Amino acid sequence: MPNHELVPVELYGANNDGEKRRYAIADGVTVSKGTLLALIDPRVASYAIVTSVMCAGIASEDHVAGQNVLSISAWTNGIFESYASGAIAVGAAISVAGPDSVQTATAGASGAMIIGYSLEAAGDLEKVNVRILL
């Protein structure tokens, strides 16, 4: 999978800011802007390395380990360019496939695992525009 963070295409919300939310994050974690974040504890985020996670949002800023910064903001509402992990149909519900890609949500995925839907069809490793709404 290419290393490609999600890129905002359009941000929504009252101030067109992507409805940023602030989460706690461990000082030892490095996260790049545009990385999908997993909710690992109440109001605590980390980078999403597995697929069966509840998504906290998309990092709207870099977080560098060892800087004694214990929070990060995340976009939760907008259209983003991502990479597809596997084929995705237009309109398909999507979920996290890793820190930098999305996949078609499994048939039994809970609402908490679905992060939005695809705005276009895509093949494996292809760029795709997705609507994120958390």
Q: Which two tokens stand for residue 30?
A: 């490095």
Whole-model pTM: value is: 0.93
pLDDT band at 108 (very low <50, low <70, confident <90, very high): confident
What's the confidence (pLDDT) of residue 3?
Answer: 63
Residues with Cβ within 8 Å of 90's Cβ and at least 6 positions away in sequence, in order, are: 118, 119, 120, 121
Every domain of the chain and the residues it spans: 7-75, 78-133
Which candidate, 125, 113, 48, places its Cα nearest to that of 87?
125
The predicted-structure confidence for 32-44, as pLDDT tens digits, reads as follows 999 999 999 889 9
Element (H, E) at 101: strand 101-104
CB-facing half-sphere around the CA of 31: CA atoms within 13 A: 34
Contact 47, 31 (CB under 8 A): yes
